[in-house]
Amino acid sequence: MLLALDIGNTHIVMGLFEGKALKAVWRIRTQKDFTADELAIKIKNLCELNSYKMDFIQDIAVACVVPPLMKAVLNLSERYFHAQPLVVGPGIKTGLSIHYDSPKEVGADRIANAVAAYEKYRCSLIIVDFGTAITFEYVTAKGEYKGGIIVPGIQIAAEALFIHASKLPHVEMFIKPPQVINRNTISAMNAGLIYGYAALTEGLLKRIKQEIPEHPLVIATGGFASLIASEVKEIDKVEEHLVLEGLRILYEKNKNG
């Protein structure tokens, strides 16, 4: 089995694949000081919760935007899985032509998203990933990755309000109010965050479409996609586990060197 690890700033999302079938998805909080042994314990326990054994895992594919964790992941792969992991980065086969001023600056998760979406749809695409940061990627119908946009995510915005506005509370859970105008602070903040980011997303998508010659399919993914996407008319599809699928595809493209 293949273990796909999407290591983000807020969460580590893990996907367990048997062939092309995604059998389990787990999400844990990112801790930059995780050791290989701590990661192994978490993976073992999660596997057992889903009636799998950690010994079933033979290969690992990694997209990591938290450099301090890479040493732990490499140690984990060697010590517990006796495998050399596929790490998304410069030099791997993607099937895309990367048109970026400095290709090595493109986040591994952004590449994995683009690879998965293009592999599935083979058309002009905009991928919006609602994670710690919200990223927009544009891929042409010819498979050219043209870059995109990076915006602070909804959780960052909520934390900034709590930290910098003394009387505003911490929003523990994002709940969509039935209306935009609200008469209590938590609902007002939720409305601002959810409908505000929906408006931001819709506005940026319209601006992107004005700059490009194609009529792209717009795909949403990431932890907050289901919360925001239903309020954005420009979004055509939601693909919840796009980055994990991208890691599987990248592994298959590169497993024979």
Say how far apart CA 140 and CA 151 lie, in whole Å. 21
CB atoms under 10 Å from CB of 128, counted, come to 28
Active-site residue among 33, 109, 129, 236? 109
Residues in the chain: 257
Q: Which two tokens stand for residue 164?
A: 């910098």
With both helix axes pointing from N to C terminus, report the angle between 185-211 and 154-164 in degrees, rounded to the nearest 10: 130
Backbone dihedral angles phi then psi of residue 35, each to the nearest 5 degrees: -100, 165
Task: Determine the 3-state secondary structure of 163 from DSSP.
Answer: helix
109 is catalytic: yes
Supply the residues annotated as catalytic: 109
